[in-house]
Amino acid sequence: MAKLTGQQIADAGLDGWAYLLGGLQTRIHTRDFATGLSVVNAIGTVAEEMNHHPELDLRATHVNARLTSHGEYGVTDRDIRLARIISAIAADAGVELGSANLSRLELALDTPTATSVLPFWAAVLAMEHQSVPDSGDDLRDPSDALPNVWFQASGSEEPRQRWHPDVWVDPAQVQSRIDDALAAGGVLVSDAGAPSYWVLADPEGNRVCLCTWQHRD
């Protein structure tokens, strides 16, 4: 099954879902644990019937859900179909889902020698080396508890910031994140990569990228 582009996913019109770093994500606001458990059970039944299993995180007042087709390294029509079913399950349970405050964290190591340092980080983090088509080499936690780590080619000049976080957000949330960061004393370093990413820095100059799916296909 073919991987969908970001625009194709956006055109599907999935209310309450965000496309973040190769997956569809939502937060189901269940209000209490018992309701969340019943929602998870309902999703599990459908997932078994489809033989397509989401990543579910049950908390006291909400359930986080993420859908991705691992064999395609992204979102396919199966994920779209399951997302619509999950939305219907939430509606039947009388609870709402949304994506306004969702994000996905990825760590980038800026290095001129990725091949020599990658094995070390794979070992110390107990993560798997994975080569993703059109994306390059990265490290992924098999249990999805830790953020992905990728290696960005850089120069060797000193001093330099070696690590920086990439925070993936829904395009509709970017401007409010930027506004809040600037109000908190940060600066916008560059918007040259927009709408794919914006570079910001805290008052000490430590940088972070706000990333979206746009203009990446």
57-89 pLDDT, tens digit each: 999 999 999 999 988 889 999 999 999 999 999
Q: Place domain 104-211 in its CATH homologous superfamily.
A: 2,3-Dihydroxybiphenyl 1,2-Dioxygenase, domain 1 (3.10.180.10)
pLDDT at 133: 67
The whole model's pTM is what?
0.91
Residues 216, 9 contacting (CB under 8 angstroms): no
DSSP string, 115-128: HHHHHHHHHHHT-E
Mean of pLDDT values over 89-117: 95
DSSP string, 40-74: HHHHHHHHHHHT---EEEE-SS-EEEEE-BGGGTB
Asked whether residue 217 carries a pLDDT value surpassing 80, the answer given is: no
Mean of pLDDT values over 113-139: 88
Q: Is the dihedral of CA 6, 177, 164, 127 positive or negative?
A: negative
Asked whether residue 135 carries a pLDDT value surpassing 70, the answer given is: no
CA distance 16 to 18: 7
Residues 84, 14 contacting (CB under 8 angstroms): yes
The values of phi and psi at residue 33, to 5°, are: -70, -40
pLDDT at 1: 76
In CATH terms, the fold of domain 6-98 is Gyrase A; domain 2 (3.30.1360)
**Residue type present at position 36:** G
The DSSP call for residue 159 is S
Instruction: Enumerate the β-bridge partners of residue 163.
Output: 109
Residues 150, 106 contacting (CB under 8 angstroms): yes
The pLDDT confidence band at residue 158, using thresholds 50, 70 and 90, is confident
CA distance 162 to 57: 32
Asked whether residue 121 carries a pLDDT value surpassing 70, the answer given is: yes
Mean of pLDDT values over 160-166: 93
Mean of pLDDT values over 154-169: 90
Instruction: Enumerate the β-bridge partners of residue 18.
Output: 25
Average pLDDT for the chain: 94
The pLDDT confidence band at residue 33, using thresholds 50, 70 and 90, is very high
pLDDT at 24: 98
**Residue type present at position 152:** Q
Percent of the chain whose pLDDT exceeds 90: 85
Q: CA neighbours within 13 Å on the CB side: how many for 191?
A: 6
Asked whether residue 39 carries a pLDDT value surpassing 90, the answer given is: yes
Residues whose CB falls within 8 Å of the CB of residue 168, separated by 6 or more in sequence, listed in order: 20, 21, 103, 104, 105, 106, 211, 212
So where are the chain's domains? 6-98, 104-211
**CA nearest neighbour of 82 among 48, 47, 55, 57:** 47
pLDDT at 106: 96
